[in-house]
Amino acid sequence: MTVLVLNCGSSSIKYQLIDPAGPARLAKGIVERIGEDDGVADHAAALRQVIAELEAECGPLDQLGLAAVGHRIVHGGDRFAEPTVVDDDVERAIEELAPLAPLHNPPGLTALRLARRELPDVPHVAVFDTAFHQTLPPVAYTYALDRDLAGRYGVRRYGFHGTSVSYVSREAARLLDRDPADTNLVVLHLGNGASATAVRGGRSVDTSMGLTPLEGLVMGTRTGDLDPGALFYLHREAGLSVDELDRLVNRSSGLLGLAGANDLREVHRLAKAGDAAAQLARELYCYRIRHYVGAYLAVLAPTHAIVFTAGVGENDSWVRSHSLAGLRHLGVEVDHVRNSFAASRAQVISPDEADVTVLVVPTDEELEIARQAAGLVGQREP
């Protein structure tokens, strides 16, 4: 059985051909620079290039026994708590959710539409970044806003990175040799975007990202938590428009705004060279993580493990040790020798006697999408 996974951004389409039973990739690639002068003209041309590349590598697609095409869709609102086979109604629903994720949903929808046209005989499955968090209880997803207005416009916490958190939580339980239904985890997905999630018994019960992927941790270019009053103030006093404020908090803040670099490797380089702004940026990045870890230890009580994943979480031992420093009284400790290895595979980085195990678990969102799509399509077969 094979599944084609498509992850479409505003200027690129990433693809992987996966057998959901195993981690090996049958093919993978990326078509970039969509819409740029020296790139492909548009998403339609990019998708045709994806199919051409796949056929050059693996032979005709209709002979591959494609079980499904899995699509990563960022925002499923409160309509989608599960992966969903796409028909015209689902496509329309995703379109209606676009205002909630104006940067993220439209490219995914474009790829979905085109792929359904190019591959009409294969089921297309939408897998939503928000779906895993649909288990949040009302106390975790409700903002203390006017109830009617919030209800009318769907203003609540949705949470993101759910596909990754779902995969990593299962892997973590396996590593701990525990029943997932009896395992409580704090999952720290630290990539370009970053989030913390409290997982109780395999279900998300709190998460740091909100209505949009802006809230919570300090990210590469996003502020994370910010007093909304700061936006009104900057609007009135600095004359920034809504669009300028949107760009400010999403694209030119976070590590980039603080240190002039959005990649932590560069921030470390600057900090080591004595740059005070970079030193503060990385301290703040870790302090915000510690803040959320503390909150979720209180939410979960007890917590069995804290799990680091994604680009920073898997690679940056400095961030791992600094963000959990000083928490020994809460049973949280990092072993510096164990932590110093680069994690190409899952591993424990806490000392054996610690109450809370600290883990590094590489994420694999594409494999999770392939599994969810295959699982759904498999159920539908007679």
In the annotated binding site for Mg(2+), the residues are: 7, 365
Q: Is 206 a catalytic residue?
A: no
Q: Does 257 bind ligand ADP (CB under 6 A)?
A: no
- Name the residue nearer to ligand ADP (CB basis): 106 or 311: 311
Q: Does 264 bind ligand ADP (CB under 6 A)?
A: yes
Amino acid, single-letter form, for residue 124: H
Task: Show the site string, 209-238: x = touches ligand ADP by CB under 6 A, - = not.
Answer: -----------x------------------
Per-residue DSSP letter, 181: G
Query: Which residue lies nearest ligand ADP, judged by its C-beta?
Result: 311
What's the chain's length in residues? 382
Amino acid, single-letter form, for residue 65: G
Binding region: 7, 14, 72, 189-193, 263-265, 311-315, 365
User: Which residue in the block uniquely carries the two structure tokens 């005070």?
Assistant: 276
Range 296-355, binding ligand ADP (CB under 6 A): 310-312, 315-316
The catalytically annotated residue of 129, 206, 316, 364 is: 129
Q: How is 38-70 classified by DSSP, letter by letter?
A: TS-SSHHHHHHHHHHHHHHHHS-GGGTTEEEEE
Token reading at 324: 């959990």
- Name the residue nearer to ligand ADP (CB basis): 264 or 359: 264
**Residue 26, class by beta-carbon neighbours within 10 Å (0-12 exposed, 13-18 middle, 19+ buried)?**
middle
Give me the least distance between CB of 323 and ligand ADP, in Å please: 13
Token reading at 40: 């492909």
User: Which residue in the block uniquely carries the two structure tokens 């993580």?
Assistant: 289
Range 141-200, binding ligand ADP (CB under 6 A): 191-193
Cross-strand pairs, 352: none
Quick one: which of 265, 269, 328, 336 contacts ligand ADP (CB under 6 A)? 265
Angle at 139 between CA 291 and CA 298, to 5 degrees: 35
Catalytic (active-site) positions: 129
The residues binding ligand ADP (CB under 6 A) are: 191-193, 220, 263-265, 310-312, 315-316
